[in-house]
């Protein structure tokens, strides 16, 4: 069943998620930094040396969504683990070196947000050779984590197709409720598509399933343009400017694989005079980051899909701590593993 939360509820969640940190990603830290957290005040203080040492990589710190996942990993580790945090700067070779360095420092578990999802077996081989469990998160090996060749490897993330299906349902419902969006009156949705990273399972699934779901609802579609924006707001803005010059008001829907690119698209549309008076173009994204929720409240985005950074971060560190301590990875948690050794955190549609 499709669940649509009110903006107020999701906005409250977002505020809670960022209450102790800025809504925009912090400036990139050095490529590697150690972080040891104190125990919660109500618990007996644990000596730092008693806390398991866990090595974490983020594919790049300045990714809008991953900045929130990183903050929630750090929050969930407070008083429970020592973290070595790494910014892989979108460089798989750098990430490989960081994994080697963390293994050499004696980490008890690895939590890896891959730069290249296809690198999962190579990272798993490094962990297996060292006898260290590994939790991959947010970027999944396309064949499934159960196929990386290591029994002590797990995944935390989402079902890639689900976000596309929910985004497509959101688009179809909004299109049917707003006849004026069909500006040429041909009964078809003329759209442009801002894709994420080529080959990324989430990008591929969101691109395919969003449009397939719209078509399955009985709405005809016509693709005017499709290009990768690499999850990046600046690239999203550049592509939207190009498409406005080429297609102008023929565009009836802007579909974005993430909110970062949607923010860029909205900036380009604002510069072209949209969202003033009656000039409007619907934009949809995925992630429900605070900036996107703000645009939805202002009527400058039609909707997004909540990608739960809080629970992704929490599940990642909970599994990593259990693995580091030699426990069942699900001990003391409410998470469930599927047949591919993955914890799936659900998506939720968000509209005004």
Quote the pLDDT of residue 351: 94
Domains of the chain: 23-158+309-345 (3.40.50.2300), 161-306 (3.40.50.2300)
Place of tokens 């909110």: 259
Cα(340)–Cα(215) distance, integer angstroms: 30
pLDDT in tens, 8-20: 333 434 433 333 3
Q: Write phi, then psi, for 307 (nearest 5 degrees).
A: -105, 110
Quote the pLDDT of residue 47: 52
pLDDT (average), residues 105-111:
98
HSE, side-chain direction, 13 A CA sphere, residue 258: 26
Please give the angle made by the CA atoms of 171, 175 and 180, to the nearest 5 degrees: 145
> pLDDT-derived band of residue 84, with 50, 70 and 90 as boundaries?
very high
Quote the pLDDT of residue 199: 86
Describe the crossing of helices 120-130 and 92-104 by its angle, rounded to 10 degrees: 10
pLDDT in tens, 128-175: 999 999 999 999 999 999 999 999 999 999 998 999 999 999 999 999
Judge contact between 134 and 112, C-beta under 8 A: yes
Give all strands of the β-sheet with 109-112 in edge-to-edge order.
Answer: 32-36, 82-87, 53-58, 109-112, 134-137, 153-157, 342-344
pLDDT in tens, 274-319: 999 999 999 999 999 999 999 999 999 999 999 999 999 999 999 9
pLDDT in tens, 14-51: 433 333 333 333 333 334 444 433 334 444 444 556 89
> pLDDT-derived band of residue 79, with 50, 70 and 90 as boundaries?
very high
pLDDT in tens, 195-223: 999 988 899 999 999 999 999 999 999 99
pLDDT in tens, 228-272: 999 999 999 999 999 999 999 999 999 999 999 999 999 999 999
Place of tokens 């929490």: 314
pTM: 0.78
Quote the pLDDT of residue 2: 39
């Amino acid at each position: 069943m499709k669940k649509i939360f009110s903006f107020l509820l999701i906005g409250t969640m977002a505020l809670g998620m960022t209450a102790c940190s800025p809504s925009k990603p912090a400036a990139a830290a050095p490529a590697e930094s150690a972080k040891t957290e104190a125990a919660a005040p109500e618990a007996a203080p644990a000596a730092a040396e008693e806390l398991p040492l866990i090595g974490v990589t983020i594919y790049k710190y300045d990714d809008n969504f991953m900045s929130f996942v990183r903050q929630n990993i750090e929050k969930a580790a407070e008083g429970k683990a020592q973290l070595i945090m790494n910014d892989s700067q979108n460089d798989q070779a750098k990430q490989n070196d960081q994994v080697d360095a963390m293994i050499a420092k004696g980490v008890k578990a690895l939590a890896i947000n891959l730069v290249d999802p296809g690198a999962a077996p190579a990272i798993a081989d490094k962990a297996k050779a060292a006898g260290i469990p590994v939790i991959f998160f947010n970027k999944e090996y396309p064949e499934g984590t159960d196929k990386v060749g290591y029994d002590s490897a797990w995944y935390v993330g989402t079902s890639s197709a689900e976000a596309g299906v929910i985004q497509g349902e959101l688009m179809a419902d909004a299109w049917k409720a707003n006849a004026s969006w069909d500006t040429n009156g041909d009964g078809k949705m003329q759209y442009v598509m801002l894709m994420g990273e080529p080959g990324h399972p989430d990008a591929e699934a969101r691109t395919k399933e969003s449009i397939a779901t719209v078509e399955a609802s009985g709405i005809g579609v016509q693709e005017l343009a499709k290009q990768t924006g690499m999850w990046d707001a600046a690239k999203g803005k550049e592509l939207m400017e190009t498409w406005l010059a080429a297609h102008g008001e023929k565009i009836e829907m802007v579909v974005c694989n993430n909110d970062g690119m949607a923010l860029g698209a909205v900036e380009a549309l604002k510069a072209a005079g949209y969202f003033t008076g009656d000039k409007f173009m619907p934009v949809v994204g995925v992630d429900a980051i605070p900036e996107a929720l703000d645009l939805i409240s202002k009527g400058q985005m039609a909707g997004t899909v909540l990608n739960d950074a809080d629970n992704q971060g929490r599940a990642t560190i909970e599994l990593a701590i259990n693995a580091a301590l030699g426990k069942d990875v699900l001990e003391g948690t409410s998470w469930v593993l599927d047949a591919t050794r993955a914890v799936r955190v659900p998506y939720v549609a968000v509209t005004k």
